Amino acid sequence: MKNDLLLRASRRLPVERVPVWMMRQAGRSDPVYRQIRRELNLPLERLFRTCPAPMLQTDVESAVKISLLPKRIGVDAIIVYKDILTPLAPMGAHFRFNPGPILSSPIRTRAQVNALQSVDDPPTQLAFTGNVIRELRETLNEELPLIGFAGAPLTLAFFLIAGESPIRHGGGTSEKATPIFRMIEEAPELLHQLLDKLTEMTINYLNYQISEGVQIVQLFESIADVLPRQIYEAFAFPYHQRIFADLNPAAPGILFAKECNYLDLMHQSGADVLSVGKCVDLSKAKTEINGTVAFQGNVDNDILRDGTPNDITAAVTACLKQGGKIGHILNLSHGLHRDTPFENVKHFVNIAKRL
Dihedral sign for Cα atoms in the order 232, 238, 239, 240: positive
Q: Give the integer Cα–Cα distance in Å for 310 and 326.
A: 25
Phi, psi for residue 225 in degrees, rounded to 5: -70, -15
Amino acid found at 223: I
Going from N- to C-terminal start, the domains of the chain cover 19-295
**Phi, psi of 42, rounded to the nearest 5 degrees:** -115, 145
- Which residue, among 211, 299, 219, 297, has the nearest Cα to 256 in the 3D structure? 219
Residue 284 to residues 141, 280, 308, Cα–Cα distance (Å): 39, 8, 27
> In the β-sheet with 273-275, what is the strand arrangement from edge to edge?
78-79, 146-151, 216-221, 253-257, 273-275, 294-296, 328-329
The verdict on domain 19-295 having CATH code 3.90.1310.10 is no
Measured between alpha carbons, how far is 240 from 244 in angstroms, rounded to an integer?
A: 6
Task: Give pLDDT, residue 53.
Answer: 78
Q: Which amino acid is at 175?
A: E
Amino acid found at 37: R
Given this model, what pLDDT does residue 291 score? 85
Exposure of 157 by Cβ count < 10 A (0-12 exposed, 13-18 middle, 19+ buried)?
buried
Query: Is the link from the previous residue into 341 a cis peptide, with omega within 30 of 0?
Result: no
Residue in 120, 44, 131 with CA at minimum distance from that of residue 82 = 44
Q: Which of 274, 271, 300 is nearest to 285 (CA)?
A: 274
Cα(229)–Cα(224) distance, integer angstroms: 9
Q: Is 19 helix (H, G, I), strand (E, B) or coil?
A: coil
pLDDT (tens, 9 = 90+) of the chain, 355 residues, equals 999 999 999 999 999 999 999 999 999 999 999 999 999 998 899 888 888 778 888 999 999 999 999 999 999 999 999 999 999 999 999 999 988 999 999 999 999 999 999 999 999 999 999 999 999 999 999 999 999 999 999 999 999 999 998 887 766 777 888 999 999 999 999 999 999 999 999 999 999 999 999 999 999 999 999 999 999 999 999 999 999 999 999 999 999 999 999 999 999 999 999 999 999 999 999 999 988 999 998 899 999 999 999 999 999 999 999 999 999 999 999 999 999 999 999 999 999 999 8
**pLDDT tens string 164-219:** 988 877 667 778 889 999 999 999 999 999 999 999 999 999 999 999 999 999 99
* Helical axes 153-162 vs 188-212, angle rounded to 10°: 120
| Model pLDDT for residues 290-308, shown as the tens digit of each residue | 889 999 988 999 999 999 9
CA diameter of the chain? 56
- 74: Cβ–Cβ under 8 A, 6 or more apart, which residues? 349, 350, 353
Q: At what angle do helices 237-246 and 153-162 cross, to 10 degrees?
A: 120
CA distance readout (Å), 328 to 14, 78, 142: 10, 17, 22
CB 142 within 8 A of CB 2: yes
User: Cβ(227)–Cβ(246) under 8 Å?
Assistant: no
Q: Could you give the CA distance from residue 129 to residue 83 in angstroms, rounded to a whole number?
A: 11
Output the pLDDT for position 290.
87
pLDDT for residue 197: 98
The whole-number pLDDT of residue 180 equals: 93
